[in-house]
C-alpha cells in the first residue's frame, strides 16, 4: 500500500529511466547497510512454503516467482532484491565489454495498458564489473541467474566469442546462466534464434560452460535460453528442436514483443520491446506450445505479463515450472510478491494439488 499510494505517484512523475536508477541504486545502497537486508526481508519477505518450493536443474527455489532480467542490469542490488521475497532473480543482460546502449529516451510507460516499451540496447557496465559486484554481494539465499548477450558492434558471425567471454568471466558467480538471443533492441540479435546459428551458439556456450566448470573446479551449471514471442509455430518448432538437440537445461518464454496490437497510448508508436499486460496471453501460448512440443521434458520459466496469481497459475498450468515478473513490479510494487505466492497457494489448494509440480502442464492440452 505504501508503494502504490506514496512511492509510485512520485516515481511516475519522474523520467522512467531516472526512476529506474533511483530505485535500483537506492535498494542497493540500503541493502549494504548493516542489518538493512534483514529488515527489508522482515517487512517485505515471502515465507517459503513446502508446497511451492521448487527443485529444478539441481537448484532449490524457495518460491516460484523470480525477477526477470533488465531491472538489475549490473547486479548492483542483488542483496536487496533477494530480501524482497523473490524465489530467484536474473541479473543483466551483460555483455563482455561495457556499452552505453541506445540513445535516450529509451524507456516509456503506457499506464492505461499497464505496459512498458524499452529500447535500452543492453546498456551495462560489462562482464568484469558485474563479476566484481556479484563477488561483493556474496552468496544469496536464492539462485542467481546471469543473463548474457553480445556487444552491439560484434557481428553475428563472432557472437559466440562474446557469449564465451561472459561465461568465462562470470561462471563462479552465477547459479545458472541465461543466453539472451531474443532482445529486439540489438540489431540482428534475433537472427541467432534460428537454424545453424542457434545450433552453433548453443554448442559454443555449452562447451564454454564445461571449460569454465573444469577451470574453476565447480559443478557444471544449468544454461537456459530466452526466446522471443514473435515467432511462427514452424519457427518455434525448429527452435525448440535445436535447443533440445543442443542439450540446454531449459527455456525462458518469453522476452518482450515488437507487436502493438490493441494499444492506444501515444507511446505505442515508439520502437522497442513491449512488456506488461499486453504480453500475458501470447507468452502463455508460447509456454504451452514449448511444453507440448517437448512432451514436458524441457523445463520452462514463464515470463511476460504476470500481474495476478491467476496469470502466474495459467503459465504454470501451461507448462512453466517457474515464473518471472518485471513490469508488474513497476506498477504494483514489492507487495506483488506476497500477493502472487499466497494466491498461488490458494489456487493449488482449490484444485487439489499438494505441490506446485503437480499443476505444471495440466492446462497444456494433448
For the chain, give percent helix, strand, coil, nearest 5. 50, 15, 35
Rounded CA-CA distance 44/117 in Å is 28
- Bridge partners (DSSP) listed for residue 252: 226, 301
Confirm or reject CATH 3.20.20.70 for domain 2-358, answering yes or no: yes
Are the CB atoms for 145 and 224 separated by under 8 Å?
yes
- Map residue 59 onto helix, strand or coil: strand
Global pTM reads: 0.95
Cell of 59: 537448484
Query: CB-based burial of residue 218 (10 Å sphere; 0-12 exposed, 13-18 middle, 19+ buried)?
Result: exposed
Taking the C-alpha atoms of residue 179 and residue 166, their distance in angstroms, rounded to an integer, is 10
Domain ranges of the chain: 2-358
pLDDT per residue rounded down to tens, the chain (366 residues): 667 777 888 899 999 999 999 999 999 999 999 998 888 988 888 999 999 999 999 999 999 999 999 999 999 999 999 999 999 999 999 999 999 999 999 999 999 999 999 999 999 999 999 999 999 999 999 999 999 999 999 999 999 999 999 999 999 999 999 999 988 878 887 788 877 888 999 999 999 999 999 999 999 999 999 999 999 999 999 999 999 999 999 999 999 999 999 899 999 999 999 999 999 999 999 999 999 999 999 999 999 999 999 999 999 999 999 999 999 999 999 999 999 999 999 999 999 999 999 999 999 986
Out of 31, 183, 275, 283, which one is annotated catalytic?
Answer: 183
**Among this protein's residues, is 183 annotated catalytic?**
yes
Amino acid at each position: 500500500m505504501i508503494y502504490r499510494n506514496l512511492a509510485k505517484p512520485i516515481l511516475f512523475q519522474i523520467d522512467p529511466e531516472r526512476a529506474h536508477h533511483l530505485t535500483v541504486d537506492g535498494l542497493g545502497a540500503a541493502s549494504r547497510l548493516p542489518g538493512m537486508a534483514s529488515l527489508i526481508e522482515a517487512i517485505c519477505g515471502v515465507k517459503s512454503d513446502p508446497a511451492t518450493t521448487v527443485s529444478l536443474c539441481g537448484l532449490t527455489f524457495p518460491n516460484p516467482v523470480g525477477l526477470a532480467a533488465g531491472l538489475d542490469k549490473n547486479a548492483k542490488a542483488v542483496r536487496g532484491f533477494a530480501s524482497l521475497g523473490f524465489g530467484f532473480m536474473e541479473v543483466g543482460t551483460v555483455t563482455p565489454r561495457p556499452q552505453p546502449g541506445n540513445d535516450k529516451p529509451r524507456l516509456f510507460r503506457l499506464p492505461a495498458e499497464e505496459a512498458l516499451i524499452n529500447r535500452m540496447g543492453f546498456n551495462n557496465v560489462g562482464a568484469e564489473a558485474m563479476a566484481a559486484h556479484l563477488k561483493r554481494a556474496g552468496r544469496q539465499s536464492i539462485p542467481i541467474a546471469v543473463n548474457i548477450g553480445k556487444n552491439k558492434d560484434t557481428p553475428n558471425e563472432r557472437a559466440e566469442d562474446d557469449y564465451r567471454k561472459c561465461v568465462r568471466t562470470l561462471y563462479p558467480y552465477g547459479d545458472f546462466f541465461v543466453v539472451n538471443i531474443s532482445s529486439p533492441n540489438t540489431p540482428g540479435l534475433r537472427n541467432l534464434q534460428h537454424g545453424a546459428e542457434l545450433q552453433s551458439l548453443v554448442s559454443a556456450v555449452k562447451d564454454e560452460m564445461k571449460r569454465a566448470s573444469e577451470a574453476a573446479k565447480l559443478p557444471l551449471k544449468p544454461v537456459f535460453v530466452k526466446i522471443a514471442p514473435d515467432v511462427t509455430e514452424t519457427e518455434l518448432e525448429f527452435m525448440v528442436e535445436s535447443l533440445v538437440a543442443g542439450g540446454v537445461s531449459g527455456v525462458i518464454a518469453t522476452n518482450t514483443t515488437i507487436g502493438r496490437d490493441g494499444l492506444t497510448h501515444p507511446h505505442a508508436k515508439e520502437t522497442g520491446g513491449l512488456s506488461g499486460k499486453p504480453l500475458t496471453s501470447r507468452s502463455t501460448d508460447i509456454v504451452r506450445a514449448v511444453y507440448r512440443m517437448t512432451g514436458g521434458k524441457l523445463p520452462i520459466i514463464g515470463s511476460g505479463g504476470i500481474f495476478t496469481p491467476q496469470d502466474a497459475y495459467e503459465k504454470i498450468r501451461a507448462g512453466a515450472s517457474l515464473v518471472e515478473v518485471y513490469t508488474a513490479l513497476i506498477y504494483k510494487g514489492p507487495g506483488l510478491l506476497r500477493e502472487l505466492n499466497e494466491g498461488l497457494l490458494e489456487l493449488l489448494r482449490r484444485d487439489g494439488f499438494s505441490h506446485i509440480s503437480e499443476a505444471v502442464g495440466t492446462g497444456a492440452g494433448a
